[in-house]
Amino acid sequence: MAYSSILDWIVFKDVMANPFYPYEAYNLPFDISYKLWELLGGLIAWLINLIFPGNGVSTWLISDEVSNVFALVLFMVIIFLVAFVVTLLSLWMERKVLGRVMDRRGTMIGLKGFMQCLADGFKTFMKENVIPRKVDKKTYMWTVALIVGTSALIACMIPLSHRWFVVNYGTGLLIIMALFALAPFFILVSGWAQNNKYSLIGGMRAAELMISYEVPMLIMIATTCLLAGSFNINDIVNLQGDTMWFLIPQIIGFITFIFCATAEAERVPFDIAEAEAELVEGWQTEYAGMKWGLIMLADYLRGYVSCAMVVIMYLGGWLIPFVSSDVNGWAPEIVFLLKVWFVFFIMIILRGALARVRTDQIVNIGWKVFMPLSVVNLAVVLLLKLGGVF
Amino acid sequence: MMSRDVIDIKAETSALHTDKMWVIMGPQHPFSHGLWTLKAQLDGEIVTDAEPIIGYLHRGWEKECENRTYPKIIPMADRLCYAASMTYTHLYCMTVEKALGIDIPEKAKYIRIMADEICRIQSHLMWLAAVGTDLGNLTVFLWAMREREFFMDLNVRMCGARMTTNFPRIGGVRNDIDEEFMMFATRCVERFEKAIWDIISMIDDSSIFVSRMKGTGVLTREKCANLGITGPAMRGTGVDFDVRRDDPYDNYDQIDFDVPVLKEGDSYARYRVRIEELFQSCRIIKQTLQKVKAIGKNAPYRLKVPSKVPAGRSFVRMEDPRGESMMYLVSDGSDKPYRLKVRSPIFVNVSAAKPLVLGSRIADVPAIMAMIDMCLGETDR
Amino acid sequence: MSGEIYQAPSVQEISDLLRDKFSGKAEITGTGERRVYVKADRDSVYDLCVYIHDNLTFEHATSIMGNDMKDHMEVIYHLSNYYTGVIIELTTDLPADDLHVRSVADIWVGGNWHERETYELFGIVFDGHPKLERLLTPDTYEFYPFRKSYKLRGQE
């Protein structure tokens, strides 16, 4: 065989027909990455085959097993890139909307100011890696990695639709919640490791903040799961499509959860761990350059996850009510992201309008306001459940 | 008889005793608006001891004045306080006029009063902006700065400069104000009286803002008077005293205005007093504009004064936006002052930082000290 | 010091009372509209201040300043009443070789920093002051910059 057509190598096989396909249902990003690998791997295989006709490497490259492995690698990149871009867009939106709230323009560099986000990212990454002499170096560096890592992990684990997910867990919400609650521990450790009083107080405050909002938040998650009868995100969203948005039966829970989610993302008015007025930058005081940039990224990733949880639990996920399932099948990812940005918009307005609460006030709010409200919410849902409405 | 230990303060302690640590806030710290340091000893989050440290900006202002002729000190007096520069220049000119024993034209008096009140509004708006950032809200900061900009423009129309204006002169003011300026000033003030409600309603309608300010930094009337705190911070604790009303200078006795006094003594009362003063300042500006108009276009606004001041002593005190300021002049008959002392309100107010913040949480320290409205130019001199 | 308490004494009352109580120790050098000028000798300044604070209700010490007259120093107190707006200017002379005066910081706590400032700039020692340290200038300063003997550069 002197010459083989490239189309012999790139055939765009059906991803579901691959015996090693890792999912039960159709997965769009995996499909995309599989096709991408077919293009890439097929091209390489064809080239190698041109030079060494009939070799084993070419056929190995496009075999079912190998395609699957490389498709999974590309899959990871795609999933992270989407989460990253979504976060950058949230950041851009915050800058513009907050700017308008404050009667100024916001960022103005390129693409209505979007390029400023990239410029800032590059700037922080180009900076010198400054490590203060008296910090506990290992802990100091590792906590950043862990905070950013866990935040990126949960941001990637948020499913954008029934066909855009990483793993379709039976216990989806619980796992997201568990990973979400990890960061305050790292913040506490990081605050201690920096050998700085502001950081130490900031770290302590992160723990103080966590004990105040975590319990009502978990109760509300349990309430939603009770209503849906499942921890699986897909089931929760589908049930909302079948019946109604959980916003309607759980309106108390929705309002409380938005505040808890704001606290979870450590945004104003609950950003007491990095209260700049008294603690300079709180637990981030000693981080500079790239580490600070990554921490900022992690902040916005967590903001995105908080909003996504609100959307999944109360706003019907990726489904639009009162339209046929065909319409819902067109671009559920876009619908989901639009809803996420809408919730983020509410958070931005909150940031523009409110002041920072005090540490004793947040504990008071958490245990004397959020807690009873979440229990009332639970009672309402129990009554509905008993009454047979759901 | 008042007891000598009015000021004996018992620090509140938290139930949970932790190792106490000193946190040094400043001079490079977001809460210290300017270069000063507050050393705070913390038990957990409760402040158990505090010590303010100043002096980073000490220039020997008073000593430098002894080396300059009288008119040369006017631009220097501008630099005492950047937020309300004209008040100190005004004060200096009044002190020298008193030493000279001259009475300046009516028109100049009213123009000076108006300039003072414009500065008071600027200063209070800058304070409001600082309160916003200290409580963690940037919107208030930018909105207050936006309102301040209109008064800056008014400054430019009046004398050509935005901040360090160099406007009052010994024996009057540098230039007259014209019809156009009066029209702009009226419009600016009328607009401001409506626009300020944006900020006020944003703060007062928000329970977070109010709960952050209510009940923090409480002082009793006696303690406040004894500590020497003056200005809006003092009137928030129930001391009914305003130099403009009770010891009037220039033509303040011809002008109708109220002195807001609240008895609560906490940060919120101080905030309310300052906001109320904004409206009173608007009232005063409107009245002075009418008076200047009534005096007429060609009335004199400046006197020629001798360059040498007869030997003697004189002092004048006035109501600065931040409190009671005073200048004391010792002249020896030459063209330079023998000694010029400035009594700065913030210098004394900041010395009361310890009783103010003692027993409160570290998160409240910026909010409490914001109500003092720090200005380091006049504190360190 | 006990005695009758005047909450809002007039200028006339103040000068009469001070003349009565402190004859020989203090003299009224002049009065004006809401102004009383008093000159007292160094040893009676504290008693005078206690009387002014307790019995005449002068709750506020506006300023305490020093003044170098070359052959002697002065300490000038401005004390004000919140009910009438009257200011008492109290001057006392200190001989140049013995710059000591009793501190009034325990009467008016607000005078604390004024006295510290006067101490560091003129070298006047206030006996009984709780913390007489340098405030505006560095701790390592060895001279008193506001004295007339301290020449600025360019000042002949």
CATH number at residue B181: 1.10.645.10
For B304-321, the pLDDT digits (tens) are 888 888 888 888 988 888
pLDDT at C154: 64
Nearest CA in chain C to B379: C136
Of C85, C106, C112, the CB nearest to B351: C112
Give the whole-angstrom CA distance, residue B11 versus residue B194: 43
Given pLDDT bands bounded at 50, 70 and 90, which one contains residue A269?
confident
Both tokens assigned to C58 = 């002068």
Quick: pLDDT tens for B119-171.
Answer: 899 999 999 998 888 888 889 999 999 999 999 998 888 888 888 888 888 88
- Rounded to 10 degrees, what is the CA torsion of A332, A338, A343, A345? 170
Check A201 against B209: CB less than 8 A apart.
no
Q: What b/e readout covers A159-193, taking b as 16+ CB neighbours within 10 angstroms?
A: bbbbbbbbebbeebbebbbebbebbbbbbbbbbbb
Determine phi and psi for B369, rounding to 5 degrees.
-70, -25
Distance between A75 CA and the closest CA of chain B, angstroms: 41
By the 8 A CB rule, do B355 and B326 touch?
A: no
Which of B23, B30, B212 comes nearest A276 by C-beta? B30
CB-based contact C62 B55, cutoff 8 Å: no
CB–CB contact C65 B54 (8 Å): no
Superfamily covering domain C11-127: NADH:ubiquinone oxidoreductase Nqo5 subunit (3.30.460.80)
Q: Length of chain A in residues, anyone?
A: 390
Residue with tokens 């300026």, as numbered in its chain = B181
- Helix (H) or strand (E) run with residue B21 in it: strand B21-25
Closest-CA residue of chain B to A281 = B30
Cα nearest neighbour of A105 on chain B: B142
pLDDT of residue B10: 44
The average pLDDT across A344-367 equals 88
Residue B366 and residue B134 in contact, taking contact as beta carbons nearer than 8 Å: yes
Backbone dihedral angles phi then psi of residue A132, each to the nearest 5 degrees: -60, 150
CA distance A304 to A180: 12
For the stretch A76-120, pLDDT in tens is 999 999 989 999 999 999 999 999 998 888 888 888 888 888 888
For position B2, what pLDDT does the model report? 40
Chosen for mutation from A356, A362, A363, A369 (greatest number of chain B CBs closer than 10 Å) is A356
Which of C34, C59, C67 is facing B247, going by the closest CB pair?
C34
Cα atoms found within 13 Å of the Cα of residue A319, Cβ hemisphere only: 25
Q: Do B209 and A271 touch (CB under 8 A)?
A: no
Residue B366, classed as helix, strand or coil, is helix
Taking 70 as the threshold, does the pLDDT of residue B4 lie above it?
no
Does the structure show a pLDDT above 70 at A222?
Answer: yes
The answer to whether the CB atoms of C60 and B339 lie below 8 A apart is no
- pLDDT reported for residue C34: 85
Encode burial over B230-262: b for 16+ CB neighbours within 10 A, e otherwise: bbbbbbbbbbebbbbbbbbbbebeebebebbbb
pLDDT value of position A375: 92
Is the N-terminal amide bond of B27 cis, ω within 30° of 0? Answer: yes
Tally the domains of chain B: 1
The answer, yes or no, to whether residue B3 has pLDDT greater than 60, is: no
Question: Looking at residue A93, what is its pLDDT?
Answer: 92
Q: H-helix or E-strand containing B324?
A: strand B324-331
- A49 has pLDDT over 90: no
Distance from CA of B4 to the nearest CA of C (A): 6
pLDDT of residue B121: 92
Look at C109 and B228 and tell me if their CB atoms are within 8 Å: yes
Give yes or no for B150 touching A (CB within 8 A): no
Contacts of A269 in chain B (CB under 8 A): 136, 208
Q: Residue B266, by phi and psi: left (phi above 0), alpha (psi -120 to 50) or beta?
A: beta
Q: Where are the domains of chain A?
A: 13-104, 127-386
Element (H, E) at C108: none
Q: How far C23 CA lies from chain B's nearest CA (Å)?
A: 23
For B17-34, the pLDDT digits (tens) are 677 888 888 788 888 778
CA distances from A15 to A22, A35, A332 (A): 10, 8, 21
How far apart CA B254 and CA B106 sit, in angstroms, is 11
Please give the structure tokens belonging to residue B282.
Answer: 């608007």
* CB-side neighbour CA atoms (13 Å) of A110: 7
- The interface pTM score, or ipTM, of the predicted complex is 0.87
